[in-house]
């Protein structure tokens, strides 16, 4: 009778013991299991992304020749406008560099862009992430900023060999130093969980009371954190409320609605690491080659 | 304990369900809603497999799911095993398992798993806007509606996969298999 009862509880005991052993196992075991399974899953994600690209390609092939001619004409116009803009930007950058040199300001960190297709979007109530089709092999590292044509996308949180996970700006875990327009006072931007069927939102804190929503207030990145260059758009302040201390305001920020439906992004890789990876390995010097 | 091929088929079926969930949520991202239907993964293995193979099946399924989630490694694995422990504890009282009971168990486990993920998210970021709870409520409601047809399809899919692998769906119970 007792042995029957014991055998009934044996399966429960086996599972409970395994569970206890798992949580008592060293962190290395956990990390190894995650890395191993990620390696197995990566090709599936990449294949799914490539299939989506192929699907887009075949749907585009259905367009007629006239559509193609119109698209080409529009693209040429946009390219011409962009060329003019680049020339203006170059002139402004030169001007900016000259003024910075006059004021003896430290140089801003430069970035290069690594463009990446979005493999998968995972935007639940608990986390807001996207998986992109570039990884460690392209020089990506955790903590690097990610942008798109509308401004800030988020920050890389995990990197595999050929893919990376980006935490979106609408995630409550995303915080970044920012500025409001040209006001130099640093503020803090933090993502907020997106309400159902609504565009993504965020929150801005430590806003000086001199600013009001009567002016069109844009939240832009600050270069204080070193993750983003200064001046990239984050969102637009829709409402400001004076805090309990009466010193600072807290505001609601509307993010770009395209943030929830991204297909391609660019990762900001700091130029220092880009330079290091671009440099060829130096040959050993005579002194280092000499054996003791 | 004889070599049991059932677990392999059931792991493959679980991976298909997890991938399907990721694809559906990718499509829903633009509407700021998501669905969650992992409850059915545990039911069939817990009802039919012997403890060793059950551990292997849910272990691999859970760790594979964990690799794609921002939760701590082993979180989904633990949820799967706790769900299996729950089903094992009540299995003898269920008698002959009907499809409606299987779906009921999947529905119940899905709700419990949703609550566990919400608890983890709250503990991770204590500062939330009012939209968080609104979003949780909508996602929970949608998930619990969606999990019913998904579970119905998934159990049929598992049986079809077993039949395709030359195995019968009427496997011996764990007590007999041990």
- The torsion angles phi and psi of B96, rounded to 5 degrees, stand at -75, 125
| Percent of chain A whose predicted confidence (pLDDT) is above 70 | 88
Residue of chain B whose alpha carbon sits nearest to that of A36:
B67
Q: Give the model confidence (pLDDT) of A246-264 as tens digits.
A: 788 888 999 999 988 888 9
> Diameter of chain B by CA atoms?
54
Query: CATH number of the domain that A174 lies in?
Result: 2.40.10.340
Q: Is B112 exposed, middle or buried (0-12, 13-18, 19+ CB in 10 A)?
A: middle
A120 and A245 housed in the same domain: yes
DSSP state letter for A267:
E
Cα separation, A256 vs A199, whole angstroms: 8
The answer to whether position B175 is within a domain reads no
A56 token code pair: 């887009």
Q: Would the ipTM clear 0.85, i.e. be above it?
A: no
Q: How much of chain A, in percent, has pLDDT values that exceed 90? A: 30
Question: Is B31 at the interface with chain A, CB within 8 A?
Answer: yes
Give the minimum alpha-carbon distance from B103 to chain A in angstroms, rounded to a whole number.
22
Do the domain assignments include residue A292? no
Is B176 a member of any domain? Answer: no
The reply to whether A98 falls in a domain is: no
Going by pLDDT thresholds of 50, 70 and 90, the confidence category of residue B126 is low
Residue A282 confidence class, pLDDT cut points 50, 70, 90:
very low
Say if residue A5's pLDDT is above 90. no
C-alpha A181 chain-centroid distance: 21
Structural domain harbouring A39: 7-61
The number of folded domains in chain B is 1
Residue A160 forms part of a structural domain = yes
Q: Is residue A72 part of a domain?
A: no
The minimum CA-CA distance between A105 and chain B, rounded to whole Å, is 37
Q: Is residue A185 part of a domain?
A: yes
Question: Does the pLDDT at position B1 exceed 60?
Answer: no
Q: Which of A225, A69, B10, A41 is nearest to A33 (CA)?
A: A41
- Domain span at residue B92? 6-30+37-170
Contact flag A34-B73 (C-beta cutoff 8 Å): yes
Both A43 and A169 in one domain: the answer is no
- Output DSSP code: residue A263: S
- pLDDT computed for residue B109 by the predictor: 96
pLDDT for B30 beyond 80? yes
Which of the four pLDDT bands, split at 50, 70 and 90, describes residue A279?
Answer: very low
Please count the other Cβ atoms lying within 10 Å of the Cβ belonging to residue A143: 13
- The whole-number pLDDT of residue B112 equals 96
* Confidence band of A289 (pLDDT split at 50, 70, 90): very low
pLDDT band for position A1 (50/70/90)?
A: low
In chain B, % of residues over pLDDT 70 = 90
Q: Do both A123 and A254 map to the same domain?
A: yes
Is the domain of A126 the same as that of A216? yes
Q: Is residue A32 part of a domain?
A: yes
A11 vs B: CB within 8 A:
yes
Banded model confidence at residue A22, pLDDT cuts 50, 70, 90 = confident
Size of interface A-B (CB pairs under 8 A): 140
Q: Verify that A224 and A137 share a domain, yes or no.
A: yes
User: What confidence score (pLDDT) does residue B39 get?
Assistant: 93
Residue B171's Cα: distance from chain center in Å? 20
Our measurement of the distance from residue A92's CA atom to the centroid of its chain's CA atoms, rounded to an integer in Å, reads 27
Q: Could you give the dihedral angle defined by the CA atoms of residues A250, A254, A256 and A260, in that order, rounded to the nearest 10 degrees?
A: 100
Residues A128 and A250 in one domain: yes
On whether residue A225 sits in a domain, the answer given is: yes
Collapsed DSSP state (helix, strand, coil) of residue B169: coil
Q: How many domains does chain A have?
A: 2
- Strand, coil or helix: A17: helix
Residues in chain B: 178
The radius of gyration computed from the CA coordinates of chain A, to the nearest angstrom, equals: 25
Which of the four pLDDT bands, split at 50, 70 and 90, describes residue B150?
A: very high
Please check whether residue A121 touches B, CB under 8 A. Answer: yes
pLDDT tens digits for range A113-170: 999 999 999 999 899 999 999 999 999 999 999 999 889 999 999 998 889 999 999 9
């Amino acid at each position: 009778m007792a042995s029957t009862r014991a055998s009934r509880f044996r399966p429960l005991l086996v599972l409970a013991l395994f569970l206890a052993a798992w949580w008592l196992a060293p962190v290395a075991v956990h990390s190894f299991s995650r890395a191993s399974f990620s390696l197995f899953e990566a090709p599936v994600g990449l294949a799914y992304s490539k299939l989506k690209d192929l699907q887009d390609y075949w749907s585009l092939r259905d367009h007629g020749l006239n559509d193609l001619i119109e698209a080409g004409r529009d693209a040429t116009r946009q390219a011409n406008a962009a060329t003019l803009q680049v020339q203006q930007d170059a002139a402004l950058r030169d001007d900016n560099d000259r003024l910075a040199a006059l004021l003896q300001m430290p140089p801003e960190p430069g970035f290069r862009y690594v463009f990446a297709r979005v493999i998968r979007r995972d935007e639940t109530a608990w986390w807001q992430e996207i998986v992109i089709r570039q990884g460690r092999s392209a020089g990506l590292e955790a903590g690097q900023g990610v942008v798109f044509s509308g401004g800030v996308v988020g920050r890389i949180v995990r990197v595999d060999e050929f893919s990376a996970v980006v935490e979106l700006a609408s995630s409550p875990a995303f915080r970044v130093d920012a500025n409001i327009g040209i006001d130099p006072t640093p503020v803090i931007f933090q993502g907020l969980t997106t309400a159902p069927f609504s565009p993504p939102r965020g929150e801005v804190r430590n806003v000086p009371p001199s600013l009001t929503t009567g002016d069109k207030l844009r939240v832009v990145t600050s270069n204080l954190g070193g993750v983003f260059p200064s001046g990239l758009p984050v969102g637009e302040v829709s409402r400001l409320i004076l805090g309990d201390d009466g010193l600072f305001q807290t505001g609601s920020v509307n993010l770009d609605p395209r943030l929830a439906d991204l297909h391609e992004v660019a990762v900001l890789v700091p130029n220092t690491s880009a330079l290091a990876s671009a440099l060829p390995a130096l040959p050993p010097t005579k002194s280092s080659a000499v054996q003791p | 304990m004889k070599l049991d091929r059932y677990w392999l088929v059931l792991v493959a079926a679980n991976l298909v369900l997890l991938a399907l969930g990721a694809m559906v949520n990718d499509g829903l991202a633009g509407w700021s809603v998501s669905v969650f239907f992992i409850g059915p993964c545990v039911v069939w293995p817990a009802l039919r497999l012997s403890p060793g193979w059950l551990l292997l099946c849910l272990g691999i399924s859970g760790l594979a799911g964990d690799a794609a989630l921002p939760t701590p490694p082993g979180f989904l694995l633990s949820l799967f095993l706790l769900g299996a422990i729950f089903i094992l504890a009540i299995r003898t009282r269920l008698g002959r398992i009907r499809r409606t009971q299987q779906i009921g168990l999947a529905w119940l486990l899905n709700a419990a798993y949703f609550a566990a993920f919400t608890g983890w998210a709250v503990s991770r970021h204590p500062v939330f806007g009012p939209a968080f709870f609104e979003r949780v409520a909508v996602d929970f409601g949608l998930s619990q509606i969606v999990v019913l047809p998904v579970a119905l399809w998934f159990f049929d899919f598992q049986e079809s996969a077993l039949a395709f692998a030359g195995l019968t769906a009427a496997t011996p119970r764990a007590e007999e298999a041990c």
